[in-house]
Every structure is written in C-alpha cells, then in structure tokens.
C-alpha cells in the first residue's frame, strides 16, 4: 500500500490530461513525453483550462513547479518517485510501473491516526 497519495493514471496513454483538486483549488494537469529528449513534462491549467505553466520537466524526487511563486500554482508537493527507493530516475520504462506521480503528503493508517 502506498503511504503517499498516488495518482492512478494510465501512463501508457501519454499524453494525458487529468483533473485534480487540492483543497478548494481545481486544476488540470497534462503529462507528456518528449521522445527526442527522452524526458517527461507536466502542463498545469487552471479550472477554466487556461494554461498556467507549460512544459515543466519532471525530475525524479523533485517537486513540480518548485521554482514558481504564483497564486495559480497549487501549494502542494507533486513528486515523481518510487516509494520502494529502487529507482533513481524517471524513464519511459519505469514511469507508471515503479515510478509514479505522488502527492507528497503521507497517508496515515487508521491505527496511526488514532495514536496521533
């Protein structure tokens, strides 16, 4: 079981766009693969599907949009990673198999929540 909020997506169907809600902020996120550069990118759209950030490169273990201070960018940590810590990079072979896009907020079990 994942200890972080994992986006359950069909990574084999890139490019994809999905809706996400963070608190009271709805956004759309697009994931793409750059075949010539062999890397993944993410696009961020607001709730009206207007572009906010386009072509942000996904870096293993690094928060998306980490260099931006913009009220349109969700204040949430979205990170591509492997919770088993076996991978060190995001590749076409491992994205959606061992590396996933996570909301980097730990999810506590019912017992952990009860114990505070």
Domain locations along the chain: 4-105
* pTM above threshold 0.75: yes
pLDDT value for 115: 47
**In this predicted model, what pLDDT tens digit does every residue of 45-72 receive, in sequence order?**
999 999 999 999 999 999 999 888 888 8
pLDDT value for 68: 86
pLDDT band at 113 (very low <50, low <70, confident <90, very high): very low
Q: What is d(CA 56, CA 39) in angstroms, rounded to the nearest whole number? A: 10
């Amino acid at each position: 079981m994942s200890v972080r909020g994992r986006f359950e997506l069909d990574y084999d169907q890139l490019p994809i766009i999905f809706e996400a809600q963070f608190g009271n902020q709805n956004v759309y996120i697009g994931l793409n693969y750059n075949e010539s550069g062999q890397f993944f990118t993410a696009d961020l759209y607001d709730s009206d599907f207007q572009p906010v950030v386009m072509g942000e490169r996904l870096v293993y273990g690094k928060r998306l949009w980490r260099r931006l201070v913009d009220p349109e960018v969700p204040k949430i940590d979205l990170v591509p990673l492997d919770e088993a810590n076996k991978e060190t990079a995001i590749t076409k072979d491992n994205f959606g198999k061992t590396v996933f896009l996570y909301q980097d907020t730990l999810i506590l079990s019912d017992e952990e929540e009860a114990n505070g």
